[in-house]
Amino acid sequence: MSGYKMAARTLGHGEVELKLLVTTKTKTPDVQVEHLVRHRRDEREFAEIAFGVHRAIGAGADHPLRGGSVAGARTRTRAERSA
């Protein structure tokens, strides 16, 4: 969502409100509206990750994932994966 907020500002839409519409699949279906809050720190982190992914792809490697069960796994190149 940080990317959408950055893009809106860059395209001249100013500070936009970010909302997610969530449909619940329960006995009585419902739609929930979630108001998202993103700060400049979130935008900086998003830009860091996006540029890191772009550089990694250009170098022929996967970008390391943050968090999750694969956080400690080392980055492999395409050649290593296909071997």
pLDDT given for residue 71 in this prediction: 45
Band of residue 82 on the pLDDT scale cut at 50, 70, 90? low
Top pLDDT among 21 and 64 is at 21
With contact defined as beta carbons under 8 Å apart, do 6 and 45 qualify? Answer: no
Indicate whether 2 and 30 sit together in one domain: yes
Q: Are 38 and 5 in contact (CB under 8 A)?
A: yes
Q: Which domain holds residue 52?
A: 39-78
Predicted TM-score of the model (pTM): 0.51
Q: Which residue has the higher pLDDT, 78 or 31?
A: 31
**Residue 59 shares a structural domain with residue 27:** no
Tens digit of each residue's pLDDT (9 = 90 or more) over 26-72: 899 899 999 988 888 988 998 898 888 888 888 887 656 666 555 44
Q: In this structure, which amino acid lies at residue 4?
A: Y
Element (H, E) at 78: helix 78-82
Instruction: Give me the mean pLDDT over the 65-82 stretch.
Output: 54
Query: Does the residue 83 lie in any domain?
Result: no
| Domain shared by 44 and 73, yes or no | yes
24 part of a folded domain: yes
* 31 shares a domain with 1: yes
Residues 33 and 1 in one domain: yes
44 & 33 share domain: no
Could you give the number of structural domains in the chain? 2
